[in-house]
Structure 1
Amino acid sequence: MTNEQAKNQQERDSRKCERMPSEESLLELFQSFVYEYSHKRNLAGIRNCLSPDATAIGSAAGEFWTNPDDLLASLEKDVEKIPQEMELFNQSFRVERLNDSGAVIWGRFGIRGKTADGTVFENPYCQVTAVYCLKDGRPLICHMHGSQMPHPLATNQEPWPLHALASGQHETAELYRLLFDNSPVGILHYDSNGMLKDCNQKFLKITGSTFQKVAGINLLTLPDKQAVECIGNSLKGRMGSYEGFYSSITVDKITPIRVIAAPIFANDSTISGGIAIFEDIGEHRVTQDRLQYQLQFEKMVSSVAKSLVSAPIDKIDQVIENALQLSACFFDAERGYIFQVDAEGKTLTNTHEWCAATEEPLMPKYQKYPLELLPAVLAFDRHAIDYLHFPDVSTMPETMADFKKILIEDRVKSMLLLPMLAQGKFIGLFGYDCVKASRSWTSEEITLLKVIAEMFSNALYKKSTEKQIRENEEKYRFLAENINDVIWIFDAETLKYSYISPSLTRIFGYTPEELIQSEIVVHLSAESLKTVLAYLPERIENLRKNRQTRYTEELEQITKDGRKIQTELTQNWVISQVTGHAEIIGITRDITERKELEEQRRLLEIHRQQSLKADSLGRMAGSIAHHFNNQLQVILGNLELMAFERQKNGTSSKNISDAMRATHKASEMSSLMLTYLGQHQPEGQISNLHALCNSQLAALRDQLPAAHQLILNESSPDERVNINRDHFSQILKNLVINASEACRASSGTITIDITKVLVSNIPARHRFPPEWVPEHECYICLQVQDNGIGIPEDDVYKTFDPFFSTKGPGRGLGLANALGFMRSVDGGIALSTRPNQGSKFSFYFPCVKGVSGQSAPAVKKSSRHACKVILVVEDEQMVRFITRSILENFDYQVIEAENGVKALEILKALKGQIDLVICDLVMPEMDGWQTLEALREIAPEMPVILASGYDQDFVMRGEHQQKPQAFLRKPYNSISLQQAIVQAMA
């Protein structure tokens, strides 16, 4: 090995290590040390190889050195005397590695050289022994022993060239005693038989003995066999080494020791005895153990850091749990854990935990634990403390009583908690619990654990951040790949696209390449193209004059398959850095569906307004009709009473008869008002719709101008519907006249078609009434179509409004009446119209599957008897009076009740004496239905006539537990009253 290689090897081996290097490496180190002295004459290099507490002995000169400084001072004199390089020859070295922390090197060699004054010297009989120990992880020489034998051929040579000889025996003895007495290690001197000849005070201190007690002890008879073997090896000419526990034979004391023994050679090379170094390694062991622990701790922290830094995102949780296990086991803790704070900073959740097999996991217990219940932990959030350390939980302060209670419940004896921070924000806790035994953590340990806490924080923050980034990337990728908007760049001066996004294909059917190579006329409708070409010059000018550059507009465009779609364009105008042209960076959005939805919302709002209007009008008309019929009842009743009086007197009056006829006409007007609203359903008949229309055809044609034609197309004979023929005839007449008036005076054609349609074929657009939903399987459709001017779109939903008309005042009830009529038969109307092409009204009547009659209420005839006493229940006083007067005119006994409550009281009081009840429907407190049910509870078989100004069909709608025996519609005359009594008593 070259000198340079030896130096490099020494540098490599000088690094900190846990155990003594190999014998080969140690030999290289020692040869490097010798090279520093013999060739380089470098005292600094020699010092670097010595332990700070190294000692040395030079046997030939009788010198002893207790520290490196004294040794180097002596060698410095030697270097001054022999400054030039010396030559080594006949080298022979042997290495013995004693254990992991100690080794011995001994050897023989010859040396020659020249002193400063030119004197040549040579000595072939030099010996050296070096003891290596680990110091702070480095193998260093802690003791060295050199000797030489004088040679008669040497001229003016130094007997020991490694140092200067002492001038006298006295000085040598003093130096020996100084080294012996002040040595930091115990020294023993024994003869060739192993008898202890001398020892220093350090040895006596280590063994806890006195010289008197140990003097004369034969070391070969000690009870410790390893110690005897070590001493014996030295007396055989070999180095001896021993490390163990020394049990004093003089006092009760056991001491960990290290012994190194070496032989002492006489001038004739015989062994005259030995010398041993006796060192107390108790403190050294503590230091070594502490260093070993620190090293393992740092390795554990390094391992955790390495695993967290290199862990992929999906493995971070597992790596954290492994790190918790590793660190908790290192500290003999039964539990390691991490708690994380929620986004609002209100709860703590145990997200990671490792616990010993003997312990029950606490993670399920601590989920969303309120942070306010842990005031001590809140101090972390306020950055008031760095950690919480309780070696003994039972001694926690009273201010943490709640926290202490939680820990005691979990059987925790010791605890360490450290905060986890990310970006300066408190995000959670990291800690350990000791359950079986108490433990404390040193400040050095806590400092390194803060590093682990920071690494955990960074890992969790990294996981959270990257998870959020991944989610955002997925969202952005999804939007980029699935967005329906088309992004494009358009040269406003060449009218060419330079870029179009792939989403173009989904909306327009074109590929981007197809449209880039085409003209804009391909996808713009004529109107849109005109609009675009009109605004381009103005917007180019605005751009170049730094005026408006952003625009939003709607254009109609054409897809590849010819469909027209509505689009919204957002434009940003810029000057191209390449061409200098005006460019548009735009986004096109298909808003066809949005426009349709807006139209649907508009129609729904119209429907809603119409429904509200119809509902309000219905309530108003119903109320008016009710009160109107009540007043007509009073008028008609009084007229009849007057007629009775005149009949009794044998006279008659045409005026009274005319007044009664007018009253009946007024009642019919009331019915018509309710018909408009679908609240009155005149009695219907099963009719063939085609035959009914055909019967009206001649009369309808007579009312049309000569230039207008009315055509009734043929249809199948089974189109039967259940309608009131008179009302239908009136509606058909109004429809035909309206159609004729919509046609031009010079010519016009009105066509009537009757067909059967399935419910699925009924159009949903422009359907009336708005709330009508076809529910029958099939319908008979009556269509009245004209070729007139049509109806404006804005007027379509006003067509069926009462009193809406384009024909002047006093008109507009015809279609409103038709709508009410269709409501009453559970049908509907659909309207389609086109400007200047005409309109078509389609009336849908439910098909009649069969004719069924309604059976009259079952009445036990045997329970009825002649009607004598009638209870009249009516809240209108004049109506009660007229009804009573008419009944008394027919010899009935009448009892009056102004409301339902009074009627019940009378019925209870006169139970069994009342034969019939006539009850009004609309009354305060209890209406007619409620009164009827209460009456039947008192008298189950009591016949009842229900009277109302509403139509019977309207009144009888809905579910009612009790039914009247007869219905009497106001205004009624004496004949209809008597008929109702007969029906009720039947």
Structure 2
Amino acid sequence: MVEKPPYEELVERINKLEKEIDKQKKAEDILIEKENSLKTILQNLPGDVIVHDLEGKILLINEEAARVKGYPEKDLLNMHVQDLDPDTVTRNDMENVWLKLKPGKAVRFESVSVRKDGTKYISEVNLNAAELGGKPVILAISFDITEHKRLLNILEQSAEMERLISEISSEFVGLSSDRIDRGIDKALALIGAFSGADRAFVFLFRDDLEIVDNTHEWCAQGINPDKENLKNRELSQYHPMLASYIEKHEVFNMPDVEALPEEFNIEKEHLKANGVKSMVVVPMKLDDRMIGFIGLHSMKRHQAWSNEIQFLLHMAGETLSNAIERRRAEKKLKESEEKLARSKKMESLGLLAGGVAHDLNNVLSGIVSYPELLLLDLPQDSKLRKPINTILESGNRAVAIVQDLLTIARGVASPKEILNLNIIIKDYLDSPEFSKIRQYYPGIKVRTSLDDELFNIHGSAIHIRKIIMNLVSNASEAAESTGQITIFTANKYLDRPVKGYQDVKEGEYIVLSVADNGPGIPHEYIERIFEPFFTKKQIGRSGTGLGLAVVWNILQDHEGYVDVTSDSKGTNFELYFPITRVETRKKEAPLSIDELKGKGETILVVDDVETQREISCSILNALGYNCVAVSCGEDAVQYIKKNPVELILLDMIMEPGINGCETYSRIKKIRPDQKAIIVSGMAETIEVKKTLDLGAGQYLKKPLTLERVGLAVKKELGR
């Protein structure tokens, strides 16, 4: 065999190598084409796409993946999938996932991924088995479903909230009044559990709309109840910032108690001391009338209260308000029925007493008259004088009882005159009747506190004296051997009705109080103490059971009211008599009206009660001032805009509309130097203090007198 020349063999090898290179190049072109085609496919796939090997090293991505993850493409290609999902993915997971993958079937799950900036989002991940360059890889297609999950959660929460509202509303349908408290407690438990709060609560206002009581609460496990410690609280002092929101009928949402402003440090410290980190409160009202508020506390964590939670509280508050109002209406109806029944009973007993008194008068004529005639004929040393005197004294006591019976039967028919209650009290304390009581109860101490500026009343002196005598007699026996009796008088102005044993209407009154520190009247007897013949005292010296019935009837004839409070520390009878401004006589050292007179200065009177405006204007006109009157704060502000005045006489409590403090605040913005005097029938409240801080000069308590008004106006105008 002839060997080829070396150069031919070299040429052949070169040609063969060129063919192999050409073949390899074509294969590489095909591979590049496939990779480019794969990249094109990846770019057009929905969601973010990552191709990684079984160890988790990222091999390919699309632009969406880089955008969603927040990394540049070159950075992602140097990372592992564990870097993007460190909480749920480990390298060992890769092999386990590969074993679960089957051709044509994807593995789907939800995962929490981390962006470059550290934010997390929820993604739905679809894993598919694939090959790249002949090697097994995993194709991961992910979708950001955070917003979807949020909306789904809102829909689920809304559905749950609607179910909850429906359940709470249904709970009170047909619920009897005596089970409403239990229904409210159940509603608070449902709301507390749903909202994730640690405490849910309801506070209700008392009639004065200043004092609140925590009437209902629910506490999560491990949270101590606080309801019993949160009663009889003046909201403006206890929670001033909350009070300002409630007054404006606004929601109070405080995610972080620490964020309360410095001026509310007392409120902040109180909440922190009770472990409250976050709170939300929603007003409860009926027809724009505030009755209380419902709210939530979070103690274990700070919590932002969503609009949905606030809406839930609002809806629940409406339901609870209606239930509470229904119970109040039913209770009021029951009380009215009881009062009507009591009134009819008193009337029937009065008629009975009248009939008995008529018959007794005929019998007593002989018992009282004949002993007197017999005594005239008997010698002074006769042994019969003592027993006949005993008969006569007994007859006279019986006559006094008959007079009480007639008072109950007919009412008081004596003529009335202008009286000063202090004078009657002092006269009684110097009387033989009182001395006799002191003999029976020598250890009793009697203390008086009589208002030196007490107004007069229009009444019957003999019957008013009878009231004082009966109340002091009862108190003496109740106080036992070494107790104390307090007799108190004062002027009192009520700008709204007061509920008590009787409902006292608004107006100006003299208050007579007789209190003792005895063991008190049992609760079951309170409703019956004014009935004729009702007594639980010792028959004989202690009386007949007519004393308080006489008090009641005399008071009704004087258009007055009575309130009775009693507990284990004693009993207090408060009697309200309408005042009269007619004087019985001039004061001992009155100030001359000329000393109090003005020089025609214009004074604006602001009061929502017509009679009070008339009284104030009459006093001011008599003092030589020019008086203008308006009935509300809004009208006062409008008047001041156009008409300057030297002084404002400003009532603090006006309904409806803005109160005196808000009125003065608005006026000061118009006329910064405006002078004012505050007038109120209430004690000096926070609102009064705030108004004084705004620049008001003095505070006058109703009812007004000419001298006090004159002095206050003179002083304020001269300031």
- For the pair shown, the structure with the greater C-alpha radius of gyration is 1
Higher RCO structure (Cα 8 Å, ≥6 apart): 2
Q: Provide TM-score, normalisation by structure 1.
A: 0.29
In proportion to residue count, which structure has more strand? 1
